[in-house]
Chains A and B, each alone.
Chain A
């Protein structure tokens, strides 16, 4: 196995200005990337393509015989941003002496982390740890597919609740239907006598995790409140446009939520957005939210986590009635999320 080393390449003065221009474009792309929703890699890809040109220029300079210093110690550093060095020296870095001199002389240096140097490197992981064991077989007690899916999710959830610190102590919402997921979480959010609150991990099929979900955390009330302000939302926009006549708005923007990215990130985005929006509701007027929802598990988990957190801090500020999509303009009413 080869080892990594850093090659510090001195960029000739004639190439320094265009290379610094490239660097500033790369930095601008990184700044834009920070403003994008998590998981949106548009600007990250732009940053990488610009930086690839910087790397190519440095490689060509090295091939042309420009001074280059190799260092293994730089492997330890964990700097973010571009690998173009100029101006002031950065703190806490193990920099070869020659590179320090170059930079003191106002030169531009590019660091290339090259992985193909002869030598032996440790592979990651933990020898003897072994792979995760295969899943245990499970069979439903009968019923149709929906009933079996509900039973499976409830089984996994009860296993997780019985040993929240164990490896299986996690909610696995992937591929669970909208209704099963919401109703099952609703049942388990309720704290009965003697039960302690449990904040369970949430793990999606892609291995990503969302924030922990508080279960056994609230005393619930199943009565629908009267006299409260009523707001109707679809959970996500542009899913069922025929609902536009029925609702007051869409809680989440589909274009922001439905993106290819780790599901745990989507869950986090929905949770942050929902919590912020719930806090924006006028606390002096309790609000009943009628939520017309379709699938996308991370959106459902993220939204109801925000509802629970909000209810923990503001018990009577809000109540949510889920409505589950069953077909064109046909929604079934679910169990209300309201504290007693």
Chain B
């Protein structure tokens, strides 16, 4: 069957496939692998899987060889190369249902052999891990939840990741003085049909790294228990390979501080422009990679907020250390103005991402969670403005009631000029940027109590918060930075 599949299409045999089919790991996945030598009526035959793919909402190209199911609605496939072509493709995930194009064909692993061995190893440890995590959760409940006390970093703490009521990750972790790092006795993740490929691993890795950073220590992460250590979890290594990071290279049971730094940067979502700016900040020694990732992942500053601050302010070093003293008012105002603009921009992005477009839809049942979008942005550092794409078509968000605003078109984008204290030169800037970008909607974004200072002819967006509320939020964030780990 496999030869027929390859020969009919003029494809090469995937490297190492036959060897891995004969391996003990593959035999342990007997009920899952789509075996080429089984009758098509069998649910784990190649013929059955090919039919599933053909009947999927979007059938894959015909060089996709199904290997085994990822979950009940997706299949791990290997895109076989044509004869004579390079044969180093990775294993990808093909969804049987309808999914957004950007989430299709997520890379599961860099090779067939690595993937099958890794899944076999992961599933072998899963049942034992589930039993242990239940025990740990019960003990934690009795020791801390019922008593209402807060655990120290050295206490064993269970964590659970869920997305829309589906559990996609379970782990237990604690700071271990034995190596001054984080010990993770249990690490379990899975793919779910409605969750992006490796998202559970990305989120769990981010959570673990944030905990390791917050608890102090070297950032080394070790798995299993002291004296009975486990290798770096196969799912985590698989995720690492998919993002080009090798884990466990300095020791099979640990993620070294250098690997932790690389992984932290890989799991922290940053658009390319922000990543470049952050690289520049690291190069200048302004901030450590771990602190910057923690700042974003713990939502002290979101990615767009940090991007704005990094793009527009020479005071980023001071801001990331908690800001200058209040009595240096002139310096403080310069920092506050940057922070106010960044904060309003972050609020606007969240507002756009969470726009309830289902209300205008005629598609029947409203599932609000499914309509959450992700607006992309680009900061123009030279003028302190942000271009935002992905805002829903129609009314300008937060449009001022007392002036006309151009509606957003489906493929148009918004350029916003956020200012806490808008000056006449900012008003002129809005008009200049509009003439530079006639295809975009350009508007000034100001706090709720600064509307009256803007002339009527300037397109205006009004942040729901007043300056005092913005400043309170900024103070809270700067306070966290003042006492946080450097």
- A interface residues, Cβ below 8 angstroms from B: 1-4, 6-7, 30, 33, 41, 44-45, 47-49, 51-52, 55-56, 59-60, 62-63, 68, 74, 77-83, 111-132, 134-140, 145-146, 148-149, 152, 174-175, 205-207, 260-263
Contact = CB atoms under 8 A, between A and B. Distances in A.
B482 A45 contact: no
Given A123-B281, A206-B483, A33 B326 contact: yes
B291 to A, nearest CB: 9
Contact of B284 (A4, A78, A127, A148): A127
A81 B326 CA distance: 8
Contacts of A149: 177
Contact of B327 (A33, A62, A114, A123): A33
Interface residues of B, number: 82
B421 A59 contact: yes
B284 A123 contact: yes
A115 B312 contact: yes
B326 A262 contact: no
Given A52-B467, A140-B179, A262 B450 contact: no
21 contacts: A3-B314, A30-B326, A33-B326, A41-B326, A45-B475, A52-B467, A113-B330, A113-B334, A115-B312, A115-B313, A121-B314, A123-B280, A130-B285, A137-B218, A139-B179, A145-B177, A146-B177, A152-B177, A206-B482, A207-B321, A207-B485
Interface in B306-327: 311-318, 321, 325-327
B346 to A, nearest CB: 17
Interface stretch (B52-60, B161-169, B379-387): B379-387
B302 interface: no
A7 B333 CA distance: 12
B424 A126 contact: no
Interface string B330-343: 11111111100100
B458 to A, nearest CB: 11
B216 A63 contact: no
A111 B421 CA distance: 13
Contact of A113 (B317, B331, B467): B331
Interface string B475-486: 100010011111
A92 to B, nearest CB: 15
Contacts of B122: none
Given A48-B326, A78-B328, A125-B285, A56 B449 contact: yes
B275 interface: no
B84 to A, nearest CB: 44
Given A6-B330, A49-B471, A124-B284, A118 B382 contact: yes
B46 to A, nearest CB: 46
A112 B177 CA distance: 50
A135 B329 contact: no
Given A2-B381, A145-B178, A206-B485, A81 B257 contact: no
A134 B261 contact: yes
A136 B218 contact: yes
Contacts of A261: 482-483
B256 interface: yes
B13 interface: no
Contacts of B429: 118
Nearest to B325: A44
Nearest to A259: B483
Contact of B453 (A60, A115, A126): A60
Nearest to B483: A206
Nearest to A207: B486
Given A126-B285, A127-B283, A59 B422 contact: yes
B327 A130 contact: no
Contact of A115 (B258, B326, B338): B338
Given A47-B327, A113-B333, A134-B260, A1 B314 contact: yes
A83 to B, nearest CB: 5
Contact of B426 (A41, A49, A116, A132): A116
B282 A130 contact: yes
B141 interface: no
Most chain B CB neighbours (cut-off 10 Å) among A80, A111, A120, A125: A125
B41 interface: no
Contacts of B283: 125, 127-131
B220 to A, nearest CB: 5
A102 B177 CA distance: 65
Nearest to A147: B177
A127 B429 CA distance: 31
Nearest to B454: A63
Nearest to A121: B314
Given A41-B326, A48-B326, A206 B486 contact: yes
Contact of B286 (A56, A59, A82, A125): A125
A174 B288 contact: no
A125 B471 contact: no
A10 to B, nearest CB: 14
A140 B329 CA distance: 49
Contact of B450 (A59, A82, A205): A59
A261 B282 CA distance: 26
Contacts of B149: none
A49 B466 CA distance: 12
Contacts of A83: 329-330, 333
Given A124-B286, A125-B286, A112 B421 contact: yes
Contacts of A60: 452-453
Given A59-B423, A114-B421, A125 B382 contact: no
Contacts of A207: 321, 485-486
B14 interface: no
Contacts of B479: 41, 260
Contacts of B329: 51, 80-83
Contacts of B475: 41, 45, 48
Contacts of B285: 125-126, 129-132
A261 B332 CA distance: 19
Contact of B482 (A74, A128, A145, A262): A262
Nearest to A122: B314
Contacts of B177: 140, 145-146, 148-149, 152
Contacts of B483: 206, 260-263
A255 B313 CA distance: 37
Contacts of B467: 52, 56
A47 B261 contact: no
Contacts of A122: 314
B257 A137 contact: yes
Contacts of B450: 56, 59
